[in-house]
Amino acid sequence: MTEQFISEVQRRMLPYLNNAQLLQLKTALTAALQGATICYEEDAPAPSEQKATDAFLSAKRIEGCSEKTLGYYHKTIETMLSGIGKTAQQITTEDLRKYLTDYQVQRKSSKVTIDNIRRILSSFFSWLEDEDFIVKSPVRRIHKVKTAKVVKDTYTDEALELMRDHCTTVRDLAIIDLLASSGMRVGELVTLNQEDINFNERECVVLGKGNKERLVYFDARTKIHLQNYLASRTDSNPALFVSLKAPFDRLMIGGVETRLRELGERLNIPKVHPHKFRRTLATSAIDKGMPIEQVQQLLGHQKIDTTMHYAMVKQQNVKLAHRKFIG
């Protein structure tokens, strides 16, 4: 409790003292309070603590985070606070290390999941530090969780043709072609309206992460199949893709995932998922020599590192390049 009290005094003096003076204050308080017992009233968190999470989420909302992302942040932070049983200002590095360890053991979570939680908590506590809610982020000394690099599969040309040949509706064929040729996210695909499609230029405007609009492009085959699908429609829904039966509601992410999964199971193609089309496009584009910056723009990535995660260099091309440039 003494350490928490000293941290709270330091926090309140942040606007008035520099780092060296704060260290002197901590030394003086530690010596003065040695042997003393400090008790807090139960259920009386500091007023700033009650607002900390909401203020952090508001800041992230202004930065352009989607409501889905904000919901994930909120759940992660609240689960952590209730799991540790302390206010954000009282939490130490040791508390967080124990929490992450226990979380992984109890939920049998992967290292990737634990590192995602660590990143969210790091963002949260760093923001609290910047805004003078706390003196120092307890996540600073918790380093990135090392995870094994898994090379994720892409679709072969044969698999793509098999899926096209065995589509039972013009709608599903149009979906596969649009995903395969544009590299758009499935969340972007289901929000498209018919008016968003420019058939002359073979392009459309999608609303990506952070509510950012960008142009994506599709090939001639996709144009023909999209036009065939729209010509077959009898409903008045402005959505680009709708359900096959009345009342012809807008097709949702779950509906696309289900149709593709069922198609894959029917054809014995493993792990058929909308996102795999995106990864396949990125890999193919880089493999054919498209500059990585242009692939980044095409996929709508803020950071080029993200684009590199999607791109899987084919080993055969590494072998050919070795023979060409090295001998």
pLDDT tens digits, residue range 64-97? 787 888 999 999 999 999 999 888 888 889 999 9
Catalytic positions, please?
A: 185, 209, 275, 278, 301, 310
Number of Cβ within 10 Å of residue 61's Cβ equals 14
Residue ranges of the chain that CATH labels 1.10.150.130: 49-148
pLDDT at 17: 77
Please name which of 251, 299, 303 lies closest in space to residue 275, comparing C-alpha atoms: 299
Distance CA 154, CA 245 (A): 32
- Are the CB atoms for 225 and 174 separated by under 8 Å? yes
What pLDDT score was predicted for residue 101?
A: 93
How distant is the alpha carbon of residue 263 from its chain centre?
Answer: 27
Residue 232 has a pLDDT of: 95
Q: Annotate 239-257 with DSSP letters as a single string.
A: BSSB-SSTT-PBPPHHHHH
- Listed as ranges, residues in the chain with pLDDT below 70 are 1, 40-50, 148-151, 310-319, 322, 327
The yes or no reply on domain 49-148 and CATH 1.10.150.130 is yes
The pLDDT assigned to 86 comes to 85
Which pLDDT score, from 0 to 100, does residue 61 have?
86
Q: What is the pLDDT of residue 148?
A: 66
| CATH 1.10.443.10 residue ranges for the chain | 157-321
Query: What pLDDT, on a 0 to 100 scale, did the predictor assign at position 235?
Result: 94
pLDDT at 46: 47
**From the centroid of its chain, how far is CA 319?**
34
Confidence at residue 268, expressed as pLDDT on a 0 to 100 scale: 95
Whole-number Å distance between alpha carbons of 275 and 193: 20
Task: Give pLDDT, residue 276.
Answer: 94
157-321 CATH choice from 3.40.640.10, 3.40.50.300, 1.10.3470.10, 1.10.443.10: 1.10.443.10
